[in-house]
Amino acid sequence: MAKLVLQSYCFSLCFLFLLLCEEKPIAALSRDDFPSDFIFGAGTSAFQVEGAAAEDGRKPSIWDPFCHAGKMADHSNADVAADQYHKYKANVKLMHEMGLDAYRFSIAWPRLIPDGRGEINPKGLKYYNNLINELLSYGIQPHVTLYHFDLPLALEEEYNGLLSTKFIDDFTAYADVCFREFGDRVKNWITLNEPNVEPLGGYDAGNFPPERCSFPFGSANCTAGNSTIEPYIVTHNLLLGHASVVSLYREKYQAEQGGKIGITILAMWFKSATENPEDIAAARRIVDFHIGWLMDPLVFGDYPTVMRKIVGSRLPVFTDEDSRRIKGSYDFIGLNHYATIYVQADTIQLEHQLRDYMRDVAIKIPGKSTKSRLALLLKYTDDFIPATPWGLSELLDHVKEYYGNPLTLIHENGEAEVVDPTTTAMVYEDDFRINYLEQYLEALQLSIRNGSNTQGYFVWSLMDTWEFLAGYTLRYGLFGVGWQFGMAQLIFFSSFLLLLSSVFLILCEDKATVALSRGDFAPGFIFGAGASAYQVEGAAAEDGREPSIWDPYCHAGNMADHSSGEVAADQYHKYKANAKLMYEMGLDAYRFSIAWPRLIPDGRGEVNPKGLQYYNNLINELLSYGIQPHVTLYHFDLPQALQDEYNGLLSTNFIDDFKGYADACFREFGDRVKHWITLNEPNVEPLGGYDRGNLPPQRCSYPFGAVNCTEGNSTTEPYIVAHNLLLAHASAVSLYREKYQVEQQGKIGITLLALWFDPATQNPEDVAAARRMIDFHIGWFIHPLVYGTYPAVIKKNVGSRLPVLIDQDSRRVKGSFDFIGVNHYGSIPVQDDMRQLENQVRDYMSDTAVKMPSFGRLHKKVNEDNQPNPSGLSKLLEYLKEIYGNPPIVIHENGAPEIVNWASCKRTYDDDFRTSYLKQYLEALIASFHKYSCAIFLFFRSKLTLHASLAFSLLSFH
């Protein structure tokens, strides 16, 4: 088989969800015509698109030998199909570009549990985890069908598959695996697809596998079967299997996972061909046989009366226990609707002593043979059926009136183009498909206005699929797939429900014209917001978390307002509401940190299961909204246990413990986290904690400390701590690249505080002082990262107090980043103060030999005058480009605070100056793109929530 090739380009069918591509002055429909939470999606099934039929441990389903025996219209098989098994990433990206809210797909039972029961296939498990995570990374909801016709062949051979009640137990066990492995992310489960189809095709007509039928009813030459009873037995077992799985989900998983579960039925509509009372009764009878066969037991606990009367003893009986279990076993009903069929009465069929399903319904379809009638009921026909959108409206009215208006999803609707398999041309004349979709969407919208509880619409199908019985001769796809010459060209033709995004709340300014829009930034540019664990999580003493070095520091009253972070913004308990707010803002990403003392409370050793659960929940919640998690491993909150044991960052023991902690994070979360930050502002903690002593662990020495420290050495310890942080960063990056990056496909970097420094005057000494300060502030870390050594001016001024990067360390540190994160808040004017270098005892500030308004500006993100200076950001980015080779840059923090008077109980937010600040910096960012071609690809607003600002203030409202 030739290698499949995917290609995306536009052609004439602009898919009509919004119908915006018609040549009309005003589009007939828009997304606004539907409820705000209405879901638009597309669907496929595993056997029809995955391919890879004999790869990675998958074993045959009942459809594999059936296809290989040449039973399809074009004698094809689905061994390759659309090759989604290998190309799911490209497919998901196209879904995102279309604007899909959701993707309905099925899990292949014989790929996940190849023998139907027993061992899980790890490669199958990995594929579905990857597909689900990929969807969530783009904000696309996975709607997952457990069973879509592809029964493992092993179960068919062992006990005749669906004919046996053993199927119920095996199906329940298989579902248990799916709920356990995927239910933390999948919130919409469909037990069965069209259980009113397989019994007829497989056990009455015999034109579906397992090809069971009996004379004179079969449309195939069956060697086994009984068309008079087996369709009813199979449906009965499918219903019991469905109810068993729903019971399992509700009892074991639903409360914790918070998902919904339902079933999807084929739901054609039927209309009497005449006004003859017999024909009207015939239409109602086929509705009961076709839809009521399943809906009546689900809603009322028993089969329709007309079926009980006509089928008699051939229809299985529900025990009282079965009836109770089946009744109400759904959170939603999925409907696959394609057409309306006109019928007439044919009650003469009831005079036969030997009857199958088609004789039992006692109808005929004008102009159709018995074989064609059954094909229409199976929907697998190439007969052209004109669009009858009013039929969808009548169907939804019927469901509303007779079955109590359950939550309903249109799981399939669409029209196919019939393909001549003898031609290699790929001609798409899709006007009739556009017209079809437009008419059905208009009917759906009208039904919703009239009270139908329909909350979603999925077109069939996402891409051209291998169609059951039809093979590659029917094209339903939003994407065309060309199989000619063994090629699979994926052809994109949908503009679909494009969603508007905003650049934070800046674009909500009350102005006639907004200066900026997202369109001013490069395609793919990411906008986010950030927070850190200690500053927002709260729950400081809950669920196994142990203190960080900040806990005793806060409790000692060292904060400006004497507060602590024990509650903070309470994100530990309110992460779901926060993620929802992020989504409503239109954020692409959320940058947060993992609390080391929550995940591994003692700094090394056992992982805290409650901490693990919280971060898994947070990550999954973000992904469920399409928000990328950008995760910082260390944001100042060192476990107190490590500080007590070996003085924390001062010891090289920290390097190994940090690596062990990072390993746990990569292992547990790296399948979903694709952006890792090792350290936040490692050029801050050495100064605040080990020079000035006004941050924990409060180490300093006279005369440099801002507080009365009881221990420390301000002349050496800041450099030792920074050195150990660099080595720890490099060790974690090396681990990630060697052990995880190839498989997980993530990126890893580091984030620095990056203020800008301008000379206070144009005096040459002050100009040199500004450059010197930049080297001490930014070059302290980025120089080793890019060049493998500290800046020359630091080596010269600090001398022997500066640790040496040995060759091995230099090689490991150099290049140890995929991106550089920058936290930028403002610019500081500096003057030369070379007299400081005459002092024999010097700390960091003395070594820089500059004067500035406040040393605290180097580790407090506070502008005393709150005046923006966006030119500083432009200069910073130009500097990084010219001196350090234009590395990929992420603006990880930028923002301005409002100073709060905590003596007042008022909550007044006068944010004009903050709006202006952000706007000016974003404009500077755009200018840097155009003027300097800087490699900036993300911007994070600081901060998402109101939180405790380290060494500054706490904001905590309950």
Catalytic machinery residues: 194, 412
Is residue 186 left, alpha or beta, with left meaning phi > 0 and alpha meaning psi from -120 to 50? beta
889-893 vs 819-823, strand pairing mode: parallel
Is residue 210 reached through a cis peptide bond, with omega within 30 degrees of 0 on the bond before it?
yes
CA-CA distance, 676 to 679, in Å (whole number)? Answer: 9
Residue 865 to residues 506, 729, 779, 895: CA-CA distances in angstroms?
A: 22, 35, 27, 14
Question: How would you classify the pairing of strands 363-364 and 340-345?
Answer: antiparallel
Query: How big is the CA angle at 473 (ends 472 and 478), to the nearest 5 degrees?
Result: 75
Cα–Cα dist 143/132, whole Å: 10
* 460 dihedral zone (left: phi>0; alpha: psi -120 to 50; beta): beta
Kind of pairing between the strands at 747-753 and 756-759:
unpaired
Parallel, antiparallel or unpaired: strands 889-893 and 936-942: parallel
Gap between the Cα atoms of 481 and 491, Å rounded: 6
For 682, residues 6+ apart whose C-beta sits below 8 A from its C-beta are: 722, 725, 726, 729, 750, 752, 781
- Cis-peptide into 216, omega within 30 deg: yes
Characterize the bridge pairing of strands 936-942 and 850-851: unpaired
Instruction: Give the amino acid at 274.
Output: T
Question: Rg of the Cα trace of the chain?
Answer: 33
Q: CB under 8 Å to 729, separation ≥6 — which residues?
A: 678, 679, 682, 750, 813, 816
On whether the CB atoms of residues 419 and 472 are closer than 8 A, the answer is: yes
Phi, psi of 502 (to 5 degrees): -120, 155
Tell me 632's DSSP state: E
Is residue 697 reached through a cis peptide bond, with omega within 30 degrees of 0 on the bond before it? yes
Q: Which contiguous run of DSSP H or E holds residue 475?
A: strand 474-475
Beta strand segments in 635-683, E? 675-680
Query: Taking the CB of residue 384, how many other CB atoms lie within 10 A of it?
Result: 10
